[in-house]
Amino acid sequence: MNSSRKPNEVLAEFAQQQGVQTTDKEFAKFLDEQDKIAHLRDDFILPSTMHDEAIQLNDIIYLMGHSLGLQPKRTKQLINQSLNSWASKGALSRAKPGEICPTKDEKLALPMSKLVGAFPDEVSIMNTLSVNIHLLMVSFYTPTQTRHKILIEKQAFPSDYYIVQSQIEQRGFKPEDSILQLEPRQNEEISRTADILDVIEKQGDSIALVLLPGIQYYTGQLFDMEVITKAAQAKGCMVGYDLAHAVGNVELKLHDWGVDFACWCNYKYINSGDGAIGGAFMHRKHEKNNRPKFLGWWSHTKSTRFDMTNQLDLAPGINGYRISCPPSHGLSSIEASMEIFDKTNMKEIREKGILLTGYLEHLLLSNHKVSKYIEILTPMDHEQRGCQLTLKLKFPAIDVYKKLMERHVICDVRKPNAIRVGPVPLYTRFIDVYCFVNILQEVLQDFTEADQTLATL
């Protein structure tokens, strides 16, 4: 699918060719038959139980990859290989002949760099998301009396806000003076790019760091990182991104966009398990920077790390920001995921993601028994979103969520009245989306009938 074409246009064209309606079940099956990466679903373990239920289920619709991705089938095998090697070889399991220390983290930087549009030496597999943001901010947030503000969205994920607050206080400034909050216009949910650029233009001289998400976790809005980065850097600001909801979801070109740094977790669209080792990017232009940084033994160049001279031989680029040896079992989880991504590319993934999410949107809006009870908060423009739709409901979200769970749908609830629905291209089928919308219709019908009953009492 050409990303310049709207999903509705593509869907209508396909349906006309097949002589069916876009809302027909047969059309969903046709779309699955045309899916070039449908086979990747077989590389994942699909959930078979619902929380504490003992009943085995085979028809679960998993739409929560924006929170926790599914487990690749190879994960357990690779972790067991690591465990067995440790058990049988002890310390000898750490290295191969001629190697003086583990190198899997550096090897995994290659496939990961392809997902974020960077050179391998600009990417490191290390720590976790919040830790990495802290470590990079030590270097890239260097406030002065005239330039000390951090531009962050008002509805930022709480951990990012806590990080910013603590970094500001650690430098001797006050959060109330140094945090500059972006927020949508009144009665709007989405931040307009023009408004972001306007803030940067007017206040850029006082902004030390622009720290924004690639994709907003609640609304699913995809920020125009290329344009924002260019505008902020033109005003002398450093630019960093939290890519937790963007990596593995949308095409990224961090190097070409000139982004200063970025960090992400690997347990959402990268499918490496809860608390997985994170990833970090720093542009090559900062490779030999003399900025302040926190150091550890993994910051030392690999070839001389075990010389034990206590004379730091700092690894160049982002590798100089590593602190500790990463856990081998955690690296195995990322390796299992990278094997799947190596079977495709982000262009194919994004292409399917646009159509799959567009199909979900189309079915929701085409079904009047659903559309009159929901509002889609996520941007309608497919170029301004990833593969997530946030639905604002006219009923309490937790009650709708429970009824969806009873019907074997796993999604996400955001109190008081929103659910996030994430069809992930690597393993979600078009028929899953079709079934979800029909189930949602049943659930909403339950509430409307209950309201009608109460009205007659």
Looking at the structure, tell me whether residues 247 and 231 fall in a common domain: yes
Residue ending a domain, choose from 311, 341, 371: 341
> What is the number of residues in the chain?
457
- 261-264 and 238-242 strand pairing: parallel
Looking at the structure, tell me whether residues 59 and 126 fall in a common domain: no
107, 132, 334, 438 from 129: Cα distances, Å? 20, 5, 15, 37
The tokens for 12 are 């209508």
Task: Find tokens 């939290």 and name the residue.
Answer: 242
- Assign residue 201 the CATH number of its domain: 3.40.640.10
Compute the distance between CA of residue 420 and CA of residue 412 in angstroms, rounded to an integer: 5
- Give the CA angle between residues 185, 190, 194 to the nearest 5°: 70
pLDDT tens-digit readout, 227-268: 999 999 999 999 999 999 999 999 999 999 999 999 999 999
Looking at the structure, tell me whether residues 299 and 217 fall in a common domain: yes
Torsion of CA 123, 128, 134, 136, to 10 degrees: 0
Residue 450 pLDDT level (bands cut at 50, 70, 90): low
Name the least confident of 69-73, 258-262, 424-428, 445-449: 445-449
Looking at the structure, tell me whether residues 295 and 148 fall in a common domain: yes
Residue 212 pLDDT level (bands cut at 50, 70, 90): very high
Compute the distance between CA of residue 301 and CA of residue 312 in angstroms, rounded to an integer: 8
pLDDT at 56: 43
Is 89 part of any domain? Answer: yes
Residue 371 pLDDT level (bands cut at 50, 70, 90): very high
pLDDT at 421: 98
Average pLDDT estimate for 375-385: 97
Is 205 part of any domain? Answer: yes
Looking at the structure, tell me whether residues 401 and 293 fall in a common domain: no
Looking at the structure, tell me whether residues 252 and 276 fall in a common domain: yes
pLDDT at 197: 98
- Assign residue 431 the CATH number of its domain: 3.90.1150.10
pLDDT at 48: 78
Looking at the structure, tell me whether residues 111 and 236 fall in a common domain: yes
pLDDT tens-digit readout, 101-151: 668 899 999 999 999 999 999 999 999 999 999 999 999 999 999 999 999
Residue 50 pLDDT level (bands cut at 50, 70, 90): low
Is 190 part of any domain? Answer: yes
Is 69 part of any domain? Answer: no
Residue 53 pLDDT level (bands cut at 50, 70, 90): very low
pLDDT tens-digit readout, 410-433: 999 998 999 999 999 999 999 999
Compute the distance between CA of residue 414 and CA of residue 392 in angstroms, rounded to an integer: 9
Phi, psi angle pair for 221, to nearest 5°? -70, 130
pLDDT at 90: 86
Question: With pLDDT > 90 as the criterion, what percentage of the chain qualifies?
Answer: 86
Residue ending a domain, choose from 285, 307, 341: 341
pLDDT at 452: 56
Q: Provide the β-strand partners of residue 314.
A: 300
Looking at the structure, tell me whether residues 328 and 362 fall in a common domain: no
Q: Is a pLDDT exceeding 60 seen at residue 339?
A: yes
Domain membership of residue 19 as a residue range: 7-64+346-456
pLDDT at 395: 93
Assess contact for 240 and 260: CB atoms under 8 A. Answer: yes
Domain count, the chain: 2
Q: Is a pLDDT exceeding 90 seen at residue 12?
A: yes
pLDDT at 96: 66
Spatial CB neighbours of 109, under 8 Å, sequence gap ≥ 6: 120, 121, 123, 124, 125
Please state the separation of Cα 132 from the chain's center in Å.
Answer: 15
Show contacts of 14-19: CB within 8 Å, 24+ apart: none
Phi, psi angle pair for 193, to nearest 5°? -60, -40
Looking at the structure, tell me whether residues 86 and 170 fall in a common domain: yes
Average pLDDT estimate for 209-219: 98
Compute the distance between CA of residue 281 and CA of residue 263 in angstroms, rounded to an integer: 6
Residue ending a domain, choose from 341, 369, 393: 341
Q: Provide the β-strand partners of residue 374.
A: 393
Span between the terminal Cα atoms of the chain, in Å: 53
Is 273 part of any domain? Answer: yes
Average pLDDT estimate for 23-38: 97
Alpha helices in 150-252 (DSSP H): 158-170, 175-178, 193-203, 225-234
Looking at the structure, tell me whether residues 243 and 201 fall in a common domain: yes
Looking at the structure, tell me whether residues 122 and 221 fall in a common domain: yes
Looking at the structure, tell me whether residues 394 and 310 fall in a common domain: no
Residue 49 pLDDT level (bands cut at 50, 70, 90): low
pLDDT tens-digit readout, 226-238: 999 999 999 999 9
pLDDT tens-digit readout, 174-203: 999 999 999 999 999 999 999 999 999 999
pLDDT at 100: 56
pLDDT at 456: 45
The per-residue pLDDT of the chain, averaged, comes to 93
Q: Is a pLDDT exceeding 80 seen at residue 98?
A: no
Question: If we measure between CA atoms, which residue out of 333, 354, 346 comes closest to residue 271?
Answer: 333
